[in-house]
C-alpha cells in the first residue's frame, strides 16, 4: 500500500511539472507573437528594428529564465517526491519488521500458554492420580477397619461365650465349696479327735477355692476392659474415617474450582495475545508500550505459576506431615 501511494504521488508531480512547462511556453509564444505584431504595425525603420530585436532578445531571456525556474521547481518537487517515496518505503520496511517481531512474540506467548496448559494438565493428572491412590488407600483402610471391627465383634462374642461357662463353673465351685464345708463340719462334729486337722484342711481348701475365684474374677475384668478398649478404638477409627472423607470432598471441590479458574485465565491470555498482534500490525507506534505490557504480563504469569506450585507443594507437605504425625499414626498411613 505505501509503494502504490509513492508511485501515484510521483506520477502526479511529473504531470504537474509538464503542465506548468507547457503553460509557460504557450504564454511566451503568445507574448512573442503580440510583440511581433506590434512591431510590424509600427514603422519599419532601423531604430525600430533594433528596438524590436532588443525586445525579442529581452523577451527570450525572460522566457528562458521562467523556463529554468519552472524546471528547477519541477526538479525540486521530483526530488521531494522521491524522498517521500523512500521514507514511505523505509516506514514500510520498519512496519514489516515490527509485524514480524510481534508475530514472533505472539508465537512465543502462544508456546508459553501451551506449556502452561500442558503443565497444568500434567499437574491435574498427577493430582488426580494421587487422589485415586488416596481414595484406594482409604477404601482399603476402610475395608481393613471393617474387617477389624468384624473380628472384634467375633472376638467379643467368643469372649462372651467363654465367660458364660466360667461363670457357671464359678457358681458350681461355690456350691461345691459350701457342700464341702458342710461335710467337713459334720465330720468334725462326729469325730472330735481329728477336729484340728480337719479344720486346717478345710481352711486350706477354702483359701485355694477363694484364690481361684478371685483369679477368675480378675480374668473376667481384664477381658471386659480389653473389650471396652477395642470398642473405643473402633469408634475412634470410624469418626476419623468420616473426618477424612469430608476433607477429601472439600479438596475435590477446591481443585475443581481452581481448574475452572485456570482454564478461564488461559483463554483470556490467548485472546489478549491475538488482540495485541492485531494492534501491532495496524498501529506500529504502540510497539514499545505493548512490549512493556508483554514483559509485565509474562512476569505475572511466571509469578502466578510459581505461587501455584508453591501452594500445591506446601499443601502436599502439610498433608504428609499430618499423615506421619504420632497422634494420627493409628488412623493414617503415609503414601
Domain extents in the chain: 2-328
User: Taking residues 187-208, what's their average pLDDT?
Assistant: 59
User: Taking residues 329-334, what's their average pLDDT?
Assistant: 42
In this predicted model, what pLDDT tens digit does every residue of 276-289 receive, in sequence order? Answer: 666 666 666 666 66
Q: Bigger pLDDT: 63 or 290?
A: 63
User: Taking residues 45-68, what's their average pLDDT?
Assistant: 77
pLDDT score of 64: 81
Rounded CA separation 84/143 (Å): 86
3-state secondary structure string across 270-285: HHHHHHHHHHHHHCHH
42 band by pLDDT with thresholds 50, 70 and 90: low
Is residue 221 within 8 Å of 159, Cβ to Cβ? no
Hey, CA dihedral for 97, 102, 107, 112, is it positive or negative?
A: positive
- Residues sharing a CB contact under 8 Å with residue 294, sequence separation 6 or more, in sequence order: 105, 109, 276
Query: Which residue, 55, 67, 61, is CA-closest to 23?
Result: 67
Most confident of the ranges 36-45, 116-125, 287-296, 309-318: 116-125
The DSSP result for 217-233, as a single string, is: HHHHHHHHHHHHHHHHH
User: Taking residues 175-194, what's their average pLDDT?
Assistant: 62
In this predicted model, what pLDDT tens digit does every residue of 19-37 receive, in sequence order? Answer: 666 666 666 666 666 666 5
Most confident of the ranges 243-252, 273-282, 319-328: 243-252
User: Taking residues 148-165, what's their average pLDDT?
Assistant: 75
In this predicted model, what pLDDT tens digit does every residue of 132-141 receive, in sequence order? Answer: 888 888 778 7
Most confident of the ranges 189-193, 222-226, 310-314: 222-226
Most confident of the ranges 200-214, 219-233, 293-307: 219-233
Q: What is the number of alpha carbons within 13 Å of residue 11 lying toward its C-beta?
A: 6
Most confident of the ranges 4-8, 42-46, 105-109: 105-109
pLDDT score of 334: 38
Cell triple for residue 79? 526530488
332 band by pLDDT with thresholds 50, 70 and 90: very low
Rounded CA separation 295/272 (Å): 13
Rounded CA separation 166/186 (Å): 30
41 band by pLDDT with thresholds 50, 70 and 90: low
222 band by pLDDT with thresholds 50, 70 and 90: confident
Burial 139-153, CB ≥16 within 10 A → b, else e? eebeeebeeebeeee
Average model confidence (pLDDT) for the chain? 71
- pLDDT surpasses 50 at 290: yes
Q: 276: exposed, middle or buried (C-beta count within 10 Å: 0-12, 13-18, 19+)? A: buried
Is residue 20 within 8 Å of 74, Cβ to Cβ? yes
Percent of the chain with pLDDT over 90: 1
- Residues sharing a CB contact under 8 Å with residue 120, sequence separation 6 or more, in sequence order: 259, 262, 266
pLDDT score of 156: 73
Most confident of the ranges 33-42, 106-115, 264-273, 282-291: 106-115
* 44 phi/psi in degrees, rounded to 5: -90, 50
Query: Which residue, 290, 312, 327, is CA-closest to 123?
Result: 312
Cell triple for residue 126? 498427577
Is residue 149 within 8 Å of 234, Cβ to Cβ? yes
Rounded CA separation 286/270 (Å): 19
- pLDDT surpasses 70 at 86: yes
Hey, CA dihedral for 9, 12, 17, 20, is it positive or negative?
A: negative
Amino acid at each position: 500500500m505505501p509503494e502504490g501511494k509513492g508511485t501515484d504521488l510521483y506520477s502526479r508531480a511529473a504531470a504537474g511539472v509538464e503542465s506548468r512547462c507547457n503553460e509557460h511556453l504557450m504564454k511566451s509564444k503568445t507574448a512573442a507573437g503580440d510583440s511581433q505584431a506590434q512591431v510590424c504595425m509600427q514603422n519599419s525603420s532601423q531604430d525600430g528594428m533594433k528596438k524590436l530585436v532588443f525586445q525579442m532578445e529581452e523577451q527570450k531571456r525572460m522566457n528562458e529564465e521562467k523556463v529554468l525556474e519552472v524546471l528547477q521547481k519541477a526538479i525540486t518537487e521530483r526530488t521531494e517526491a522521491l524522498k517521500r517515496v523512500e521514507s514511505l518505503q523505509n516506514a514500510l520496511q520498519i512496519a514489516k519488521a515490527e509485524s514480524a517481531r510481534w508475530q514472533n512474540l505472539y508465537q512465543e506467548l502462544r508456546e508459553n500458554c501451551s506449556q502452561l496448559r500442558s503443565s497444568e494438565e500434567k499437574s491435574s493428572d498427577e493430582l488426580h492420580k494421587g487422589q485415586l491412590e488416596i481414595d484406594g488407600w482409604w477404601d482399603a483402610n476402610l475395608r481393613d477397619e471393617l474387617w477389624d471391627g468384624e473380628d472384634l465383634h467375633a472376638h467379643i462374642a467368643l469372649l462372651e461365650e467363654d465367660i458364660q461357662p466360667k461363670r457357671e463353673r464359678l457358681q458350681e465351685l461355690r456350691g461345691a465349696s459350701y457342700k464341702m464345708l458342710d461335710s467337713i463340719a459334720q465330720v468334725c462334729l462326729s469325730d472330735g479327735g481329728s477336729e484340728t486337722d480337719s479344720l486346717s484342711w478345710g481352711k486350706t481348701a477354702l483359701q485355694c477355692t477363694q484364690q481361684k475365684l478371685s483369679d477368675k474374677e480378675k480374668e473376667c475384668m481384664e477381658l471386659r476392659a480389653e473389650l471396652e478398649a477395642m470398642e473405643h478404638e473402633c469408634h475412634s477409627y470410624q469418626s476419623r474415617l468420616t473426618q477424612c472423607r469430608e476433607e477429601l470432598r472439600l479438596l475435590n471441590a477446591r481443585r475443581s474450582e481452581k481448574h475452572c479458574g485456570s482454564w478461564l485465565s488461559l483463554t483470556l491470555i490467548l485472546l489478549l495475545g491475538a488482540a495485541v498482534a492485531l494492534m501491532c500490525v495496524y498501529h506500529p507506534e504502540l510497539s514499545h508500550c505493548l512490549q512493556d505490557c508483554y514483559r509485565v504480563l509474562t512476569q505475572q504469569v511466571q509469578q502466578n505459576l510459581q505461587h501455584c506450585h508453591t501452594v500445591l507443594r506446601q499443601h502436599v507437605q502439610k498433608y504428609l506431615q499430618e499423615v506421619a504425625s504420632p497422634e494420627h499414626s493409628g488412623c493414617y498411613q503415609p503414601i
